[in-house]
Copies of this chain bind each other. A is one copy, B any other.
Amino acid sequence: MDIITLIGLVAAFLTTASSIPQVIKTIKLKETRDISFWMWSLLSAGIFLWLIYGISKNDLPIILANGISMFLVLTVLSLKIKYK
C-alpha cells in the first residue's frame, strides 16, 4: 500500500471515529443544549448521500466509513431529539 492510500485510510478512520466521543459524552450527560440540531441533520443527509455514492461506485472504504458514521451520527441526532 502506498503512503497516500495509507494517509486516506487514517483520515477516513479519524473522521469516522470522531463521533464516538460525542456519543459517549451525550449518553453520560443526557444534555444536548449546546449541540446544533441542524449540524447533525445536515451531517445525516450528507453521509446518507456519501453512502449512496460509495455503493454506486462500489467503493468499499467509502461504504464502510459512511456506514459506520451513519449509525453514530443518527445516534447523536436521536439523543438530541430525546434530550432537547
B-binding residues in A (CB < 8 A): 4, 7-8, 10-22, 24-26, 29, 31-40, 42-43, 45-47, 49-50, 52-53, 56-57
| Residues of chain B contacted by A35 (CB below 8 angstroms) | 22, 34-35
A14 touches B46 (CB 8 A): yes
A32's nearest neighbour on chain B, judged by CB, is B34
Apart from A12-B46, A22-B36, A35-B35, list 17 A-B contacts with CB within 8 A: A7-B49, A7-B56, A10-B49, A11-B50, A11-B53, A14-B46, A14-B49, A18-B39, A18-B43, A18-B46, A19-B39, A20-B39, A21-B37, A21-B39, A22-B35, A25-B34, A26-B34
